[in-house]
Structure 1
Amino acid sequence: MPISDDFVALFNEIGKPTGNSAMTHEELLILNDIFPKFMVDFYKEYGRCIMLDGHIQLCHPRDLSGVISLIFGADPVFNHNEFHAFSYSAFGTINIWNKELGCCWVYLLEGEVTCRALTKPDKLTKNLENTIYTPFEISKELYDVYDINKKPLFQRAVKKCGPLEIGECYGFVPALGLGGVADIDHVKRMDAAAHFSIVAQTMNFNLIDVQGYGKSVIVRPIG
């Protein structure tokens, strides 16, 4: 199936996905009940893949379902069975899709969840499906993580540990919530699902309302 014109235009800006790993027929069938058709077509063409020069990669919702369950727990709004991870950054920003709320974000290291449909419903476009493009349109720098001296870590992590393969992430060892330090000496390359699960269990998550650059407020706890 051809991919959408919007994805074609996006690739002209950021380049095509790399490291493609095809999904099984069973995995693709599951996606039909979760995502808009144009996203399913994307998965059929590229499968699990890497974008934005390694800053993010696409995953199957099953890959991080356990992580999402740990983050959302028994939350009355964020039912973990209805929120599906479809991509994540090298250090743990997880992009999530919900049919009713569109694209939501989990900032794993900060313990923050953002969902514009909940905090700013009056500013939403009528077509929520378009929000699924958002994670691929923002600057690579916004996916970077900064060390204790406020210096970006991604490029140094690539140099030290090598580029990520499908299903991997960069993480701090020990995890920050367990006394780790945000420093390149503590960065390792590891299995994303396993590491994210550990980090999720060390954090308390809150729904955040982003009110402007560098300014946000806590709306309520998650879980």
Structure 2
Amino acid sequence: MDKVFPRFVEKFGGAIDRREVPLSSIDRYQGKLPKLLLEYWADHGWCGYGDGIFWIVNPQEFKGVVASWIEGTYLQGRDTYHLIARSAFGDLYLWGEKTGFSLKITSVLSRCVIHNFEINCEELDRELQDFLLSMDVDTNDYGELFKPAKKKLGPLRHDEMYGFVPALMLGGPDTLDHLEKVKAVEHLTLLSQITELQPYSFSDF
């Protein structure tokens, strides 16, 4: 019996805005994402945790977002990436078909963390468990703004995020007064078009 997901839920809190995952979606990602993740989808759906600070998502809905961030960069051709989770502020967690959880994009800053490794089929489920166990509430917050934003703007739905307006990369301040509740796909796509994605200095790339 899997013990990792209950530990993840215990750390974050119960699910919100749960959506059932159709069999067609599970079939679409067979052989592309870990079998264990597809089992989590079937059992728990796509939903938010920690009152919506962290979301396990439908990769198909964010396919265009991923393409917008990666196309034309050094990441194109390295792997085929699928967005499996995101934060309330647009931290994007991408799973590579060859490299597992090897790419995180901090969309508000147009920065990324890349890990250089390849994994075999037997390691996929363990890699996913390690990913979930590595998640915590604080690292998905931005400047401790989640609770104030939720109080001011209201809770998020599955297709929403808190975004800075104007964007930080356009010189906007990272304050509560400049946070708005925005549509996630549209806002993440907009952020991808402002400036070129760059790796953090501590990244493997």
Using the size of structure 2 for normalisation, the TM-score is 0.86
CA shift, 1:56, in A, is: 0.7
Aligned partner of 2:174 in structure 1 is 182
CA distance in 2, matches of 1:136, 1:164: 23
Query: Where does residue 130 of structure 1 map in the other structure?
Result: 126
Distance 2:52 2:110 in 1: 23
* CA gap 1:89/1:128 in 2 versus in 1, 3 angstroms: same
Give the superposition deviation at 1:74: 3.0
Kindly tell me the number of residue pairs found equivalent between the two proteins: 200
Check whether the contact 1:87–1:94 (CA below 8 A) recurs between aligned residues: yes
1:14 to 1, 12, 15: 12
Q: CA–CA distance in 2 between the matches of 1:155 and 1:204? A: 30
Give me the identity figure in percent.
Answer: 22
Higher RCO (CA 8 Å, separation ≥ 6 residues):
2
Q: Which sections of structure 2, spanning at least 5 residues, go unmatched?
A: none
2:183 to 191, 216, 219: 191
The TM-score, its normalising length taken from structure 1, stands at 0.79
* 1:67 to partner: Cα distance: 1.3
Q: Tell me whether 174-183 or 198-207 shows the greater mean CA deviation.
A: 174-183
* One-letter amino acid of the counterpart of residue 131, structure 1: E
Contact 2:79 2:96 in 1 (8 A): no
The Cα of 1:72 is off from its aligned counterpart by 0.8
Distance in 2 between residues matched to 1:68 and 1:87, nearest whole Å: 12
The 5 Å alignment of 1:95-174 reads 95-103=93-101, 104-116=103-115, 118=116, 121=117, 127-133=123-129, 134-135=131-132, 137-146=134-143, 152-174=144-166
- 1:151-172 Cα offsets, whole Å, 9 max, x none, are x211110011011111110001
Matches within 5 A, 1:201-216: 201-210=193-202
Residues 100-146 of structure 1: per-residue CA shift (max 9 Å, x gap): 21112111112122122x1xx59xxx835433232554331111112
Please, what is the CA RMSD of the aligned residues?
2.5
SS in structure 1 at match of 2:172: coil
Q: Following superposition of structure 1 onto structure 2, how do residues 54-65 of structure 1 map, counting pairs within 5 Å? A: 54-65=52-63
Shift, 1:79, TM fit: 3.9
What SS is found at the alignment partner of 1:171?
strand
